Structure 1
């Protein structure tokens, strides 16, 4: 607007045909030029204010996201935040650590002990020479990261006329909300029955949170005969009917992206239409990790012991077909140190634990799928294929120690009126992240959260490192 006003004045002088125009113009032009330069300066200041605010918001969110990491501290949070600021304002900085040529104030936490908010400061030099002071405040108790940016904008006229206008500040604070460990998440975002309990079913989440990501008013359904007990029950949309849960569901923002979405497919593939490995009768078999492209069927009282990481680092069983346990068969680990990860790939591979079977499994402690017990190829979620049902029909599935990640799968537990039974209750912890979770006819899925009680790791983004990041101001 200032530039248009200056332009109108100049045009008015130009149309003036009186003899005094030259004199007036000679007197007025310096003032008009100064006004034009001031207008340009102010426009630059306002534009830089917007840039700094965007940088502060991004840096605060990035820093708060680091609170999901169990060993996050002020130095790590400050380094991550500083990288985001540098990328937004065009300053040169190492992608992982502050560049000593760009940072003139050492990042040191303030005194006061680990419980007190920790402050770090740095000075960034952008490629055009602008100096930006960056202050980050990490409050581990309040689960917040505050970012303050201050920059003196290089101007031509404004620095003389109004020096205070050239100093731009932007502040932003992000908080990790719902800091209770995330132990169950249904990823479905739009349709009904994303998290569905009926006919005497239960989810008992000891010390952790249960989350329905569906925007459908019927996304979270728990009938009067069923129940959910957790530290926190979240639903993106208020349920259309009463949900029998303790505590009552609260509105939470959608978890986007998928908290485990950073995990990618393994470099493993299988030929199609291979026959399964069948283990049956009274056989007792030790099964090492490897490619099982036709799947594995265990039946008729057979006992299969997985050597897992006791036999091969990583302990990964790649499944190109179903893992089926039925007819009173047993599937277990070799010993307390063994761990196995089942990777389901191809168009159709899933697990089915049938009635009266016994299953006790634990995830590997090392390797590419450390901490994961069941991992579905994430490419299925983008392939357009219909979701597969991963089924537990036995009340003798006592241990599922680790994380179950079925990005496009439906975890179904149905005891088919055979009487109530606990599932996974003997696990130190169990985390479930699936497209949908549906329970029927008596199962009680027990999600313990004794993360310190085992050396099996919890993947970043769930369990104690889960939480929703939001700007609080």
Structure 2
């Protein structure tokens, strides 16, 4: 009996021993739980701080990119307010995915020498209801970029509708503007063998095609019309009724047309030669040069109330813009109400020295030759600039010594703008 009792005692637990063992296990669980709490906090803090470091990196990258983008835009002859707004918007787009968990704000400033600084602040919740640290985590970042390499504005497509091209080069057409800026307020497009070569190329919306050198800076800001407000002031004379609809110079005639208001449409045909006298020429109903006719003029401005300039067939043009007066620097300009396109389809349009300004009309070039290659400088600002066929528009930028001043807002007369940017270390 005692033997069985001894064996039973060796092979099992007494009631007292079982309770003691259970108590020990419970104490161990409590101790383990208490030990796990700081470990979990350490893990949570480590994860949170790693996320905070990554977010700080994202914020810094955002202001770096925005400062560079702003400095590039500052170089493209745009107003300071537009540059800073663009930089702020650009930075915000870089961290849009962080916005749901952070309160983010950016500011930007532009100095007189086109240095752009972008500052960013982000606030996010911290531990224990923002008690540690008080008010949550705050990230502050800053970046400064300088604009580089002067790029005068020489071709501007004003049309700013998203789905329409401001500049379109098709066929084998080319724009050659090697030392200046070609900018589209909408889309710039090259199709077939069309090419655009420039010191810098930018577009607000998109670039279609591959014929661009250098590559297009897309997402750029709108460049405001630098000649906004320019008006043709011969309206009253142009509204007078005339007995003739057109005056034509034909055959082999050689005529000099004095500056002033030309109320009838002017046509030059056959082998006639028309020379424009020095001064401002107001055309009430357009000017057409065709066949083998020629048009020459120095120190002239061709101002179109209605109609436009058309050069076709084998017509020859040799024109130099105004050197003085209200229209100094301009060669061709159309009233805002004038939607008549300027058309060049002749291969003999050699010199167009000065600014061509079609505020609400297009420049259409479709020829087998070069256009404006003999000009020391040219500036084209139009709703649309369209090249097709084998045409080649040559935009030179030899502003010094031309005798024709560059109008304020174009060419090299846009202040200390530059293109390209570098981030300060």
Shift, 1:68, TM fit: 6.5
Counterpart residue number, 2:385: 437
Counterpart residue number, 1:267: 233
Instruction: For structure 1, list consecutive stretches of 5 or more residues without a partner in the other structure.
Output: 1-60, 70-79, 82-135, 147-170, 309-314, 381-386
Answering whether residue 304 of structure 2 is matched by residue 344 of structure 1, we say yes
Counterpart residue number, 2:362: 410
Counterpart residue number, 1:377: 335
Equivalent residues of 1:67, 1:176 under 8 A apart:
no
Answering whether residue 390 of structure 2 is matched by residue 426 of structure 1, we say no
Alpha-carbon distance between aligned partners in 1 of 2:223 and 2:344, rounded to the nearest angstrom: 28
Counterpart residue number, 2:12: none
Shift, 1:197, TM fit: 0.9
Alpha-carbon distance between aligned partners in 2 of 1:173 and 1:458, rounded to the nearest angstrom: 32
Counterpart residue number, 1:209: 181
Shift, 1:256, TM fit: 4.4
Counterpart residue number, 2:283: 319
Alpha-carbon distance between aligned partners in 1 of 2:77 and 2:157, rounded to the nearest angstrom: 19
Cα distance change, pair 452–468 in 1 and its aligned pair in 2 (3 A): closer
Cα distance change, pair 442–268 in 1 and its aligned pair in 2 (3 A): same
Answer with 1 or 2: which has the greater Rg: 2
Shift, 1:249, TM fit: 0.7
Equivalent residues of 2:226, 2:410 under 8 A apart:
yes
- The correspondence for 1:367, drawn from 296, 310, 325, is 325
Counterpart residue number, 1:446: 394
Counterpart residue number, 2:169: 197
Alpha-carbon distance between aligned partners in 1 of 2:348 and 2:261, rounded to the nearest angstrom: 27
Cα distance change, pair 66–413 in 1 and its aligned pair in 2 (3 A): closer
What TM-score do the two structures reach when normalised by structure 2?
A: 0.62
Shift, 1:178, TM fit: 8.0
Cα distance change, pair 393–137 in 1 and its aligned pair in 2 (3 A): closer
Answering whether residue 256 of structure 2 is matched by residue 286 of structure 1, we say yes
Write out per-residue CA displacement over residues 353-384 of structure 1, whole angstroms, 9 at most, x where no aligned residue.
Answer: 0110000001010011000001111244xxxx
Equivalent residues of 2:252, 2:272 under 8 A apart:
yes
Alpha-carbon distance between aligned partners in 2 of 1:258 and 1:172, rounded to the nearest angstrom: 30
Cα distance change, pair 267–388 in 1 and its aligned pair in 2 (3 A): closer
Alpha-carbon distance between aligned partners in 2 of 1:137 and 1:213, rounded to the nearest angstrom: 25
Cα distance change, pair 408–138 in 1 and its aligned pair in 2 (3 A): closer
Counterpart residue number, 1:124: none
Alpha-carbon distance between aligned partners in 2 of 1:399 and 1:242, rounded to the nearest angstrom: 30
- Per the alignment, in what secondary structure is the counterpart of residue 387 of structure 2? strand
Equivalent residues of 1:197, 1:440 under 8 A apart:
yes
Shift, 1:225, TM fit: 1.1
Counterpart residue number, 2:157: 186
Counterpart residue number, 2:128: none
Alpha-carbon distance between aligned partners in 2 of 1:398 and 1:174, rounded to the nearest angstrom: 41
- Per the alignment, in what secondary structure is the counterpart of residue 453 of structure 1? coil
Alpha-carbon distance between aligned partners in 1 of 2:390 and 2:294, rounded to the nearest angstrom: 22
Cα distance change, pair 352–454 in 1 and its aligned pair in 2 (3 A): same
Q: Where in structure 2 are the equivalents of 1:43-442 lying within 5 Å?
A: 138-139=112-113, 143-144=114-115, 179-190=150-161, 191-214=163-186, 219-239=187-207, 241-261=208-228, 263-269=229-235, 270-271=238-239, 274=242, 275-308=245-278, 315-333=279-297, 338-345=298-305, 348-380=306-338, 387-415=339-367, 420-442=368-390
Alpha-carbon distance between aligned partners in 1 of 2:253 and 2:230, rounded to the nearest angstrom: 36
Counterpart residue number, 1:17: none
- Per the alignment, in what secondary structure is the counterpart of residue 230 of structure 1? strand
Alpha-carbon distance between aligned partners in 2 of 1:281 and 1:326, rounded to the nearest angstrom: 12
Q: CA RMSD in A?
A: 3.4
Equivalent residues of 1:68, 1:465 under 8 A apart:
no
Equivalent residues of 2:76, 2:151 under 8 A apart:
no
Shift, 1:465, TM fit: 2.8
Equivalent residues of 2:115, 2:144 under 8 A apart:
yes
Counterpart residue number, 2:27: none
Shift, 1:199, TM fit: 0.9
Write out per-residue CA displacement over residues 53-112 of structure 1, whole angstroms, 9 at most, x where no aligned residue.
Answer: xxxxxxxx9xx999969xxxxxxxxxx99xxxxxxxxxxxxxxxxxxxxxxxxxxxxxxx
Equivalent residues of 2:77, 2:223 under 8 A apart:
no
Shift, 1:242, TM fit: 2.4
Counterpart residue number, 1:39: none
Counterpart residue number, 1:462: 410
**Runs of 4+ that moved beyond 3 A:** 64-69, 136-139, 143-146, 171-179, 466-469
Equivalent residues of 1:243, 1:249 under 8 A apart:
no
